[in-house]
A = this chain, B = another copy of it.
Amino acid sequence: MLNRLPSSISALLDSRTEGHSLPAGLYTRDDVFAADLDVFFHRHWIQVGLECDVPEPGDAVTLEIGSASLILLRDDDGEIRVIRNSCRHRGARLLDEGRSIVSKLVCPYHQWTYELSGELIHAPHMGMDFDKSCRSLKPVHFKSIGGLIYVCLSDDPPADVAMLEAVMEARLAPYDIRQAKVAFQFDVVEKGNWKLTIENNRECYHCSANHPELCVSFIDLDFGFDPASLSPEDREEAERHQALYDARTREWEADGYPSAAIEQLAGNTTNFRTQRLIIAGAGESQTPDATAASARLLGTMTRKDAGDTHLWGHNSWNHFMGDHAVVITIVPLAADRTLVRTKWLVHQDAVEGVDYDLDKLTSVWLATTDQDSALVERSHAGIADPAYEPGPYSTFTEGQLDNFVTWYIERLRAHGY
């Protein structure tokens, strides 16, 4: 009889072949999913929301991460708070999923009442000796980086988020995401493992055949190419385009827009990459014709041709353009289910139907998200097949995937797997 016990997670990690996709179990197994949630969604910084999700004092929104629920709110002093959505009496959820307006946080079960700071101020029938001071709602480590809310659910948040913070505060400043407006939000549940969602996002090898709308403004070859696989004409154009980057990056930086690629990937704890990318065609925005969707530009931006400042994290990808931004965050729901949440941001004073047309603003990424969802499902189904064996990443176009899974393995190892 063969040994029928499943491999340990550690043995699965050992079995990975360099340069190849992961062994199936790391995408499909429930124990790996539990480890992933714990390590990557509770012990690392994750991007979960926006300051402008709660623009006014008293605005609150819940954030669900696995079985954890957080309350992101703006208190009466206009400060952002992130606290746990579980009453300190018998644990009940204080706020229902979604948006609320609150002056105090009152548990609907027994009326325990908390300040927006989390301080417990009223607990009926608990007696004179009851010490309210040790029953405040639990706070959560968070950072607003240029208006993007990152949280870490552990007590020991990774310190190297400092680099992300330093780099992105500077890059995001002119877009003033803190004061932006969420023009639209769209959720989709992809039928695949969260790492397949991220792998799919880290290459554009699949773009030309799958994303006709995105390819108007996006240049798939920015993500690498094998010169030998292109026609002589395509190869020349690709090489010309690569050369453009040096020139364009120098110009942008001279104009005060930090643009060069900065990466903190494998070898680090907090994973991110940013670079200002050239927008193709009309050169302004990720819209059906690559022209700006919003006449009112973001923040203090004065030009539409400032490219696309992309930002990747291990649970997010973002595109900041002159006229609007697209912010996409993911939360794993099960080994084979991933929530993908997309938000489109415009200037807070931009008026729908006047300054921007909602359809023009959203159509490219709505289509892209839909296409990617189908690809991730196709990918997960095939990986769950007993016939699957890890395949080779292209060194030209899938280097970022190799880097991501290398980081993934490092981080599980660092947490004892």
Contacts and interface: CB of A to CB of B under 8 A. Distances in A.
Given A209-B111, A387-B86, A92 B382 contact: yes
Nearest to A122: B229
Interface stretch (A261-269, A298-306, A391-399): A391-399
Contact of A391 (B21, B90, B153, B209): B90
A250 interface: no
Nearest to A209: B111
Interface of A: 1-2, 4, 21, 24, 35, 42, 66-69, 84-94, 108-111, 124-128, 130, 135, 138, 153, 199, 205-206, 209-210, 224-226, 228-229, 375, 378-379, 381-397, 415-417
Nearest to A65: B386
A392 B229 contact: no
B386 A68 contact: yes
B85 A382 contact: yes
Contact of A21 (B2, B90, B128, B383): B90
A394 B126 CA distance: 5
Stoichiometry, as copies per complex, reads 3
10 contacts: A67-B385, A87-B382, A88-B391, A90-B393, A91-B390, A125-B224, A125-B229, A127-B228, A130-B392, A153-B386
Given A384-B67, A385-B67, A386-B68, A391 B128 contact: no
**What 8 pairs between A and B have smallest CB-CB spacing?**
A1-B416, A84-B387, A91-B382, A86-B382, A91-B388, A125-B226, A91-B383, A125-B394
A55 B131 CA distance: 56
